[in-house]
Structures are given as C-alpha cells and as structure tokens.
Amino acid sequence: MSEKIRITGGRQLKGEVFISGAKNAVLKLMAAALLARGESKIYNVPELTDVIIMLNVLEQLGAKTGYNKKEKSVTIDATHITNITASYELVSRMRASFVVLGALVGRCKEAIVALPGGCAIGERKVDFHIKGLEALGTHVKIENGYVHAKAKKLTGTDIYLDIPSVGATENIMLASVLAEGATRIQNAAQEPEIVDLANFLNAMGADIIGAGTSEIVINGVKQENLKPIEYTTIPDRIEAGTYMAAFVATKGKGIIRNVFPNHLTFYTSKLTKMGADIKLVDPTSIEVLCRKRLEAVNIITQPYPGFPTDLQSLAMALATVANGVSIITESLYENRFMQVPELRKMGADIHQERNHALVKGVKNLTSANLKASDLRAGASLVIAALMAEGESTIDNIYHIDRGYELLENKFRMIGADIYRYTDEDAAIINQGKGSLSESQL
C-alpha cells in the first residue's frame, strides 16, 4: 500500500538529533565481508531498505546473514560462497550492490553480476569498473544485462581513473586485496566512505595505504591473511547535512550528535555564508543555529572534498527563500535537478538551463502535493515542506526510505509536525473517524 508523508510547515525545530551509520559506507563494508572466511559483524548499521537488499544479495551468494535491530548490527558469515551470480531482481534495485563484483572477483576469481539500478539521477556508467578489473587480469564481457568477469589470477598494476569514481575505486580496491603484487589507483575517489572501506579491509588483514588521497596503493595478501572482524561504520554525513539544513530552514537551533564534522567542511562553509551559525560542541557533535533570513550563495558540486552532489538539492531548497539569486551548478549528474518542478509547485522561482539553476529567493514557500523522484530530491522536499506555509504531502517516499532511518520519528523529536500515512488512513480520516496524528501515534 502506498505510503505518504504529511508535513505542516512553519514550526521552529529545536532539540537534538542522533545520526545513524553511513548508508554509503556500510553497504560496501557488507560486500567486503565476502573476502574473509568466517563471520564478521558490523555495528552502527541503519535499518534501511538498501541494507535489507544488500543482505539479500549476500544470502543469494551463499553467505549467512543476520540483522539485530536492538544492536543496529549485521552479521555476515562468508565461510562458504556457493553462488557467483548476483541477480538482476536485486542489483537493479540498488546500485551500491554492484560492488559485490570486485569482492567476488577477488575471492572467487569469477563473478556474474547484473548491471546496477538505483535512483534515476543520470547516467552512471560502469566502464571504469570494468577497465580496472581488466587491468588486473580479468576477462570481462557484458551479456543480457549481466557483467561476466573471470580471471585465472589477479595481478597488481597501475590503474588511472579518468574521473574519481567512488564505485570504481571501491570495486578495484576489493578485487586488488587478494591480487599478486601491488595495485596503485591514481585519481582515486577520496570520500570518507572510501577511507572507511580501507580501514575495514586493513582490520581484516589487507594492506592498503593512501585512502583519502588521490592515490591508493593496495599490496596484495594471501587469502589466509584475511580474518573476519567486528567493526563500527562511520556516521552518515549526508543525513547529518539534512538535519543541519532542517534547523537552518526553520530558523531553529539544535545539536547534531554522532557526526564527523570534518566530513562536512565544504557544506558547513556554504551554510555559514548563507547566515547559519555552526559551531563544534564536542569532537562528534555540532550546534546549528539560524535566526535571520538566508543570503544567496553559489554552489558547484564536485567530488570530495568539494560540495557533495548528495546535498545539492537540500542547498537548493534553502536557496528558494534566500535573499538574492543563487547559482547552483551540478557537475556530476545530468538529472540531479529533479526536485525543481516540485519546488516550483511551492512557489519557488527557479530557472534551469542544463546543469545550471538560477534560484531567486522568494519570501516564503507554500504547501503543495509533492512527489519524490529520487532519494535526495525527496529529502529536499521534506526540508521545503518544513519551512512552507500550510500542509504538504509527499508521495513516493520509498525513495526517501532508502537513505533515512526513522525519518519522521527523528523529525518529530525536534518539533516537526510530520506523519506517515497510507491511502487507507486518509480514507478513515475523510470518514470522520479520527485525525491523522491520532491514527499514527
């Protein structure tokens, strides 16, 4: 049954938010667990649709898995890999699951993995993944929507990425751990999630240096050197950025806990320029305060450590009510402005031309019936609805559920008027049998 979110805007948000584990990190750690025989355990794992899909992928390959809601942990016993095929039915639902390709090639020297799916934010080719695996000695062919990869042995080499692709960097890292000799990835992705993956692999017994820089060196080790481990993933910097935007949007004040502030340096700088007051409370907590109308700001999305593409839509939502004209340039994905038509429904003044958006701030947004087109566009609509006048509804929230754990619960804890409901709930309300809030509490 279709679920929607109803938000009544205009409330000033106050309080504390605890950030969940990083979705974009933990999914790759789960795939990396395939490299070591035995049971690994990962903590700080958010309860998300994508996590469930990845668990299903790993089970399809023969691993035994479990999720503990109370501990927020997953266990992955990869003692036996009985299948080298990751099906289209699962991989097409979530792009991050494509990273099992590198792990399977590394451990089994063979893999058959469906071409990936996920949010329709633009073309995201797998050419760099394939070229990297081929450089290591893998024969790769694509047939019927599947990547078939096979190698007699993997040999370390120098690999240069034309662009610092996160997924390609991860797949090459995973395949190189058990290769003979050293592999050097040049122009590698530098995201914190890459560092987290390298730390996880090194804890298992791998030999990786340089993660977090543009050059990563993986010195191959033997299979017997890899051991299962217990590991805690990093906090989700994109979720943290979302709640930062929420406090700023509603002229509120709040503390965000379980965050690594250095992962959000560029984003924090832009929010500060817009008028937010952001300060460090302790090493993993920040206070966000905003009491005045925001000022326009120019943004260009770039690979880390530049402005994150995953936070571009949130910045645009803030810019819709800022003083002046903001210019937002999306340099990574051609379809990452899918929130624009929905924001216009709310009264936003946005002119889009290709990958550029000119956002002229208006005094305020008004409520509307909205649809989330993808994960981050959906998050921007939540922010817009929180600061709009009146009651907004957001449909297609399964997109949002892919990346935000307990979203409405966390927002209610800091004062938002937000509820999840189904069409059946709405029918009951229309029949005069109660209010939406009463039916949900």
Q: Which residues are catalytic?
A: 119
**Bridging pattern class, strands 182-186 and 158-160:** parallel
Are 288 and 256 in contact by the 8 Å Cβ rule? The answer is yes
**DSSP label at residue 6:** E
The DSSP annotation for 37-78 comes to SSEEEEES----HHHHHHHHHHHHTT-EEEEETTTTEEEEE-
The DSSP annotation for 376-431 comes to HHHHHHHHHHHHSBSEEEEE-THHHHTT-TTHHHHHHHTT-EEEEEEHHHHHHHHT
Enumerate the β-bridge partners of residue 371. 395
Are 269 and 277 in contact by the 8 Å Cβ rule? The answer is no
**Distance from first CA to last CA of the chain, Å, rounded?**
19
The C-alpha atoms of residue 175 and residue 156 are separated, in whole angstroms, by 10
The C-alpha atoms of residue 171 and residue 194 are separated, in whole angstroms, by 11
- Kindly report the CA angle at 258 between 230 and 93, in degrees rounded to 5? 65
